[in-house]
A = this chain, B = another copy of it.
Amino acid sequence: MGLWYEETFKGTRLSLEVTDTFFSGKSEYQKVEIFETREYGRALAIDSVFMTSEGDEFVYHEMLTHPALLTAKDPKRVLVIGGGDGGTVREVLRHPGVEKCVMIEIDELVVRACQEHLPTIGTAWDDPRLDLRFADGIDYVKNSDEEPYDVILLDGTDPIGPGEVLFGMEFFRGVKRMLKPNGIMALQSETPMLLRDVFFETQFKLRELFGKVHPYFGPVPLYASGIWSWTWCSDTQDHTAVDEGRAAPIVDGCKYYNLDIHRGAFALPNYVRRGIAAGPQDKKEG
């Protein structure tokens, strides 16, 4: 008791009281830790940044997954890049129409640690529709000759240091190459309040690639500022056209997401509207 795990982000720091540590290890990529917190249950941190916790993961994983899956036309093939804790593929595989979910995670250690010590988050590891591969998502979308996907979800790390390429145009172009023409891509797109530049730059990059780009918002207490964004992208689909028949059983199993939340999450605060209307301020290829 009395131990605190802290994440410092710019001039802010979130600390969580930790009551037990289950795992601490280092891969060739990063440091991976799983511990028990007093308020949020078990939590995963990578390189001293909170990634997810039992207490708030439902918002993040439901919001990354269901807006895309429920506005896609009969999605059968889904690609998840990142998402080593297993929460995103868990939500994807709750959709009975999904026939195959390929998950590309670069770091096997994250998955193995979460399988053993965060079993309440990744509950779908044994689903036969899951094709889990430990590989570099950037290489995959650039070079794969596999069939394109109906939905692609980017569940990557922050665009700081090694994660920066996951928010770059080259990666986004690869992702689009692997998406069917009527497909939908959704990604976590950072906090609009504390990483405003990254949030807006990401919007402008995506607008160069997709005909329809819609950010949406929800609360994730463990992430810097507590307010998080995801972005829905497509050339052809409608982000408001939820398949209500398919949605009903999905919503039943959600702790956060429902159709009012879906509609409400796409409401843009004035500062976001104005930032997007102002256009790129310092345009550069990322």
Which residues from chain A sit less than 8 Å from chain B, CB to CB?
4, 6, 10-17, 37-40, 55-56, 59, 193-194, 217, 219-221, 225-227, 251, 254-258, 260-261, 263-271, 273
A265 to B227, CA, bound (A): 13
* Minimum-distance CB pairs A-B, first 4: A226-B226, A264-B264, A11-B38, A219-B227
Decide: A267 and B264 in contact? CB cutoff 8 A.
Answer: yes
A55 to B37, CA, bound (A): 29
**How many copies of this protein are present in the complex?**
2
* Extra pairs beyond A4-B13, A256-B271 (18, CB < 8 Å): A11-B37, A12-B14, A12-B17, A12-B221, A13-B15, A193-B219, A193-B221, A219-B225, A219-B226, A226-B226, A255-B270, A255-B271, A256-B269, A256-B270, A258-B267, A260-B266, A264-B267, A265-B267
Q: Which of B10, B14, B268, B271 contacts A13 (CB 8 A)?
A: B14
Decide: A251 and B270 in contact? CB cutoff 8 A.
Answer: yes
Q: Which residues of B have CB within 8 Å of A251?
A: 270
Q: Which residues of B have CB within 8 Å of A37?
A: 11
Tell me the smallest distance from the CB of A158 to a CB of chain B, in Å. 16
Tell me the smallest distance from the CB of A196 to a CB of chain B, in Å. 11
